[in-house]
Amino acid sequence: MRAILTGEHAWCQLFSEPGAGSDLASLATRAERDGEEYVLDGQKVWTSGAQVADYGLLLARTNAEAPKHRGITCFALRMDQPGVEVRPLRQMTGDAMFNEVFLTGARVSAADIIGEPGAGWGVALTTLAHERTGLGARAGTGFAVTAPGGSRFRAEREVPAGEYVAAVRRRGPLGGAVAGQALAAPAPAIYGGSDQIQRNVIGERVLGLPREPDVSRDVPFRELKKGIQGQEAGSL
């Protein structure tokens, strides 16, 4: 815990997947029990800071017989291990804050489950609630232009790819900060869930309006058709 508070250990959220974005509960990354460990296979995407993270807060499906919101377990995953591959995603700002993360036979101890097995959806909702509160608190305050750092970070992987952008910024107003902010301005509309998802959350959980229909909510995950994950109506 102290290493988290001091920043010695950096973390990322391994939540979204190519087929499970706004409908996060449709995630398909698998965690299969093998003795006192789980074997992980799947893909995550839009993972901020994965390239410098020591650990990831991972959501993986441990029970495909349960409906999609159940059978999900949350793990604390060590990122620097065989079977975990991080690939940066270049943004139009030239930065690479987001990443794809591929899990191929990676392992995590059963002792590293956060909460209870199969109860990861509740952990995800709590995590997202804190994220959204933080985003709301700094709305309108602007964003600082910072560089990656930290004694144990692996940020040096970003340096060569960022040299061109750094050169452009040095020649622009305020070192290119104005241009960078303009290009990054649309991004907050999807932080912590898109604007549409946030309206659903406010409507359902704050105003008490009827929940958006989701025909797949009570269907065992294994019975969902391939490709339907992430396309059903639903909300985080």
What are the chain's domains? 2-210 (2.40.110.10)
Axis crossing angle, helix 177-184 with helix 159-171, rounded to the nearest 10: 110
Helix (H) or strand (E) segment spanning residue 101: strand 98-109
188: Cα within 13 Å, side-chain hemisphere? 14
Question: What contacts 24+ positions apart, CB below 8 Å, involve 79-88?
Answer: 79/12, 79/50, 79/53, 79/54, 79/55, 80/54, 80/154, 81/106, 81/107, 82/106, 83/40, 83/107, 86/47, 86/50, 86/51, 88/51, 88/157, 88/158, 88/161
| SS3 category, 123 | helix
Let me know if 116 is a catalytic residue.
no
CA dist 73 and 31 (Å) reads: 8
pTM reported for the whole predicted model? 0.76
Instruction: Out of 100, 131, 212, 232, pick the active-site residue.
Output: 131
The whole-angstrom distance between residue 152's C-alpha and the CA centroid of its chain comes to: 21
Angle at 10 between CA 7 and CA 13, to 5 degrees: 135
Query: Could you read off the pLDDT tens digit of each residue along the chain, which spans 236 residues?
Result: 788 888 889 999 999 999 898 889 999 999 999 999 999 999 999 999 999 999 999 999 999 999 999 999 999 999 999 999 999 998 877 788 889 999 999 999 999 999 999 999 999 999 988 777 766 655 555 444 433 333 336 334 444 445 545 555 555 666 677 777 788 777 777 777 788 888 888 898 889 999 888 888 899 999 987 554 444 333 34
